Amino acid sequence: MDKQQAQEKIDAIKELLHQYGHEYYVLDKPSVPDSEYDQKLRELQELEDAYPELVTADSPTQRVGAEPLEAFQKVQHNIPMLSLGNAFNADELRDFARRATEGTDKPVSYVCELKIDGLAISLLYEDGKFVRGATRGDGTTGEDITSNLRTIRSIPLTIKDKDTIEVRGEAFMPHKSFLALNQKRDENGDEPFANPRNAAAGSLRQLDPKIAAKRNLDTFLYGVGEWETGTIQSHSERLSYLKELGFKTNPEWRKCQTIEEVIDYVEYWTTERPNLNYEIDGIVVKVDDLDQQEELGYTAKSPRWAIAYKFPAEEVITTLTDIELSVGRTGVVTPTAILDAVKVAGTTVKRASLHNEDLIRAKDIRIGDTVVIKKAGDIIPEVVRVVEEKRTDKEEEFHMPTTCPACGSDLVRLEEEVALRCINPNCPAQLKEGLIHFVSRNAMNIDGLGEKVIIQLFQEKLIQTIADIYRLNREDLLKLERMGEKSVDNLLQAIEVSKGNSIERLLFGLGIRFVGAKAAKTLAQQFETIDNLQQASYDELIAVDEIGEKMADSIAHYFSEQEVTDLLQELRELGVNMEYTGVKRSSQSEETIFSEKTVVLTGKMEHYTRQEAKEKIENMGGSVTGSVSKKTDIVIAGEDAGSKFEKAQKLGVTIWDEQQLREALND
């Protein structure tokens, strides 16, 4: 057999195996016995061994062919993977329907889907081949887990559509796989996973794909990111097309004409969910019409055209054995209930926040009480109420201390606050929590400096202040446990990279009271340097949009402190950037050809990536969206522009080529 004959034979076997795999793992209707599939797979492997240059990434033999990774690479989502707003009862679903109906002129219909309790994923296909898979991450930046996703048999390695397509869905672990995995871990003396979701997430974050392959994960695909969907006009049509392409979609979705039909669907699955072979934690409700979705638009965090109904939280009874105190980075002393371990919503719960003394008094919670607990939103454990009929008169009332449990300083209750607070700036608990916050993802985002490492460095007295992070050296770090040469080098490199962050990350990381990530960005855009912000008066601060009185007062007070001035000077001397490097408000205020224009990019460009073009347009005051509607001002069409180009023509939207874009950006 020559190379050409081998190629033809390989192509034929691959096509057959893709068909068999789709029938088995997606349709659940195998057409051949397992032995025949295995025989064909062995035949393909032998051919590829003989002609290794003919092995391609879409071959069924490559499902577990990748070598272990050293670390996951970051992936930027060009279209953010937004979270959904929540509804907890029928009235809140009706409110969602009312808002949707008021936001559009045409009648609204809905699609209901089971909300799979797994890990959100994004799959990218180019020229019909699966080229990259990523986690949702924070919605904007995820992790490249392509090697692990290739091991999931229900994910097609090839599809018929040759356009660039990004498909989104959920990876999960079926009950059968979960039980088998925990049985195996128990036999090996390993700690079992708490629930299928944790098991799925843990499997997909293994650096060795061979481990993920053994976990028998599955997927349901339900949406898209970047994709020119041609003539598709509705979400229900999109689901049907995904299935036609070979993706596994959940068969239980339903189209509903009214919100009352939606509520009937919710009530049905509230009782039927135990009969499924996988975990669900709610129902996702979406406006079906894609034009109406575009018309309704988005808030900063979620689409207005979709909502997640969350099933009622499971309530269980346990005993509250003690109340412990912790000190946060802002000095707030928080009481935490210590509980007899109990299973709630699939995980073992031993602790629950009690928030403050007023809540303890309002619920009359005592040490030794029998209490009802639940997970708020299926995530955060909380004490719902005391079971008073089980009291024995041996329970003890709890009283908050008058001094800080970490440093012994007097606690104070600030005006209009229910929380007790330690105001000692050198309190070790606050310093430690402040350091953890400073290096976190939304702040300085220093890879390798997680909570455990920060605590270790703090206990070893290698860091006591934020500035100490930038004084860490290789010699001291190598003396620590679990710190090898490679991890130390990576950590020092991440610290060095963080010095170049734009100042909104630094502002958020400093932990100024009331200043969140969004406010930090607003302040950075307005004042552009730390020096300008530090010198700003209360009146100048309050004049900034979105900066309220409390925040302005907190900022002015923070920057008036001498120790803050000293810290900033230290950071400056250590090379930390003190300027805003993003889109400046002064630039945005200048009128440009893109000012207040809605722009859509389509097709391939020669001189810019899609992300580069998007950033440049936004730098000039434009807004880049993913789909064409009557609200679109300009469509910029590169080579092989598809349905967005056609829709723009149909709607009479202004269409530019790449040369016109270049001229506009240069002007």
Nearest CA among 525, 27, 473 for reference residue 248? 27
Any idea what DSSP says for residue 163? S
- The DSSP bridge partners found for residue 376 are 380
- The DSSP bridge partners found for residue 636 are 601, 656
Nearest CA among 169, 156, 278 for reference residue 220? 169
In contact, 204 and 286? CB cutoff 8 Å: no
Residues contacting 93, CB < 8 A, separation 6+: 87, 259, 262, 263, 266, 285, 307, 309
Count of Cβ atoms closer than 10 Å to residue 618 Cβ: 16
- The DSSP bridge partners found for residue 602 are 637
550 is catalytic: no
- The DSSP bridge partners found for residue 352 are 337
Taking each helix axis as running N to C, give the angle between helix 451-459 and helix 428-438, from 0 to 180 degrees, rounded to the nearest 10.
140
Q: Give the amino acid at 498.
A: S
CA atoms within 13 A on the CB side of 288: 21
Question: Residue 492 and residue 449: Cα distance in Å, rounded?
Answer: 10
CA distance to 20, 185, 387, 495, per residue, from 191 (Å): 36, 7, 33, 34
Of 40, 115, 521, 644, the catalytic one is 115
Question: Residue 530 and residue 553: Cα distance in Å, rounded?
Answer: 17
In contact, 558 and 513? CB cutoff 8 Å: yes
Active site residues: 115
